[in-house]
Structure 1
Amino acid sequence: MVSDFKRKKLMFLFKIFFDSDGNGSITKKDFELSIERLAKAKGWEPGDEKYKIAEKTMLEIWEGMLYKADVNKDGEISADEWVALWEESSKDSPFDWQAYYAKSIFHLQDSSNDGAIDKEEFVSVHGSFGLPKDQTSEAFDKLACGKDKVSWEDFQQRWEEFFTSENADAPGNYIFGNLTFE
């Protein structure tokens, strides 16, 4: 059973980053809307190579997620299916799509391709999902633990903390740019 704290984190992620149209479930269309948001934040046009790569990556994540989560096979992931997906994944080693998702999110944020995410990159991506700049800036500071950048190794550790930690002060709780999960 997922704790109330973890459920709040998962539902924040569901509502802000996945249920793009706000209809209460995640569909392929939500992923397409997310791609458009990211492209706008990054300045990519639909025909650009980076846009094509992001689109391919996000749709592969969607397929992997749908396969694992869509219990009733209706082509959507409900909030309950979403929470169950992450609850199941905490029991075993991460599903392939999760590792792929983490790596993809890291690379989408690392615009400079220098192997680390800086504050500007972090704020830009999270801003494309409607999160306030001041909030994401502060979240980055907590996520980075006093560093100027978040390396891939740090990101992996913070990623795991987000999905497993019950500690409200864990730096990983800020990986998605939020300071509260209300």
Structure 2
Amino acid sequence: MLIDRIIRAKQGDQEEMAALLQQFSPLLRKWGGKLLGEDGIEEMTLAFLEIIQAIEPKRFRCQEDGTVVSYLAQSVRNAYVQRQKQFFRQPAIGFSLDSAEEADEDPMIGREDPSGDRNFFDLLERCPNLTEKEQQVLTYIYYWGYSATEIAVAWNTSKQNIHQIKQRGLRKLRSWLTEKA
């Protein structure tokens, strides 16, 4: 029974804990993928381990597998909701994407690329196929060091959308550079 596996995992049986993680990995991937932040699946795995350690098997009136699975699924969902709330309660990231373009305030703005003859912004501006949004995303990620999640929150869009814009921009840039060479 599942409750017996949980008891053994709580007692330190690593094989049972690994088996539980394997059994519930689809659920952890589901909620971890929805979690904002860089390490969603890892966060949900940690939450699952905490849930397993906090379970008191004696409190279950019905110890059948279906009941325990239902309890664990609801607990993982609750952990997801709790972590999402924590993410949004964090203080503001401390940046404005508009302020990143104010070159006079940042000493890094004048840095040049390793080739020494053109800087990062000139490279992006010379590529005729890049849209303004692709230029902005590439600049924020590769020049300023922001993550896709930070940009997505600032632009009120999904991190997948930011990732797609970045990939599209990189493909266009790569294509333009290979044509030029």
TM-score range, shorter chain: under 0.3
Compute the TM-score of the two structures, normalised by the length of structure 2.
0.25
Name the structure where strand makes up a greater proportion of residues.
Answer: 1
Compute the TM-score of the two structures, normalised by the length of structure 1.
0.25
Name the structure where helix makes up a greater proportion of residues.
Answer: 2
